[in-house]
């Protein structure tokens, strides 16, 4: 059985504005921001506004409602950074590598011949993430 949702997880705090993030986008169902330990330039996360631990417990309707944002951010990240492709990944429960227990989709721009860094660090300061985020935001506005 899947564990209960913990409303004190860091992404819930970011959603409530109680913790900082480099924000990219939000709509009624989804919120997107830069990953603090990027596996490559432009690594971002898209989360649902509804409390869900991962893909195993989210209501299908809430999942469907957030997926347009995943698509939108994948297109903008690829275009904004001139990437050659994009990885979209989602991990559910510790066995899969999940470490933050609010559902999130990783969107990671990919460049020919460049391998993604392993997860888990180092932490990128906001000043480093902000100029990359600006390019993604610009591509969202001017697709």
Report the interface residues with ligand 5GP, using CB under 6 A.
10, 21, 33-37, 91, 97-100, 104, 119
| CB nearer to ligand 5GP: pick between 37 and 64 | 37
The least CB distance from residue 34 to ligand 5GP, in Å, is: 6
| CB nearer to ligand 5GP: pick between 67 and 100 | 100
Could you give the CA distance from residue 107 to residue 135 in angstroms, rounded to a whole number?
A: 15
- Kindly list the distances between the CA atom of residue 67 and the CA atoms of 17, 73, 82, 87, 91, in Å, as whole numbers in the listed order: 22, 10, 22, 15, 16
The least CB distance from residue 96 to ligand 5GP, in Å, is: 8
| CB nearer to ligand 5GP: pick between 37 and 138 | 37
| CB nearer to ligand 5GP: pick between 40 and 119 | 119
Closest-approach residue to ligand 5GP (CB): 37
DSSP 32-51: EEE-SS-SSTT-EEEEESS-
The least CB distance from residue 124 to ligand 5GP, in Å, is: 9
Q: Which of 131, 143, 139 lies closest to 41 in space, CA to CA? A: 131
The least CB distance from residue 57 to ligand 5GP, in Å, is: 15
Return the ∠ at Cα 67 (arms to 61 and 71), rounded to 5°: 165
- Per the annotation, the verdict on 104 as an active-site residue is yes
Q: Which of the residues are catalytic?
A: 104
């Amino acid at each position: 059985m899947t564990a209960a949702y913990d409303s004190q997880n860091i992404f819930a705090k970011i959603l409530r504005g109680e913790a900082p993030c480099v924000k990219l986008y939000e709509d009624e169902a989804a919120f997107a921001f830069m990953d603090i330990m990027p596996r490559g330039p432009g690594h971002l996360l898209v989360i649902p506004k509804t409390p869900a631990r991962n893909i195993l417990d989210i209501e299908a309707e809430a999942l469907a409602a957030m997926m347009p944002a995943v698509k939108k951010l994948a297109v903008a990240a690829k275009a904004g950074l001139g990437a050659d492709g994009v990885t979209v990944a989602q991990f559910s429960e510790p066995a899969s590598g999940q470490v933050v227990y609010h559902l999130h989709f990783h969107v990671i721009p990919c460049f020919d011949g460049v391998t993604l860094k392993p997860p888990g660090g180092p932490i990128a300061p906001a000043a480093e993430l902000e100029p990359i985020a600006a390019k993604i935001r610009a591509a969202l506005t001017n697709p």
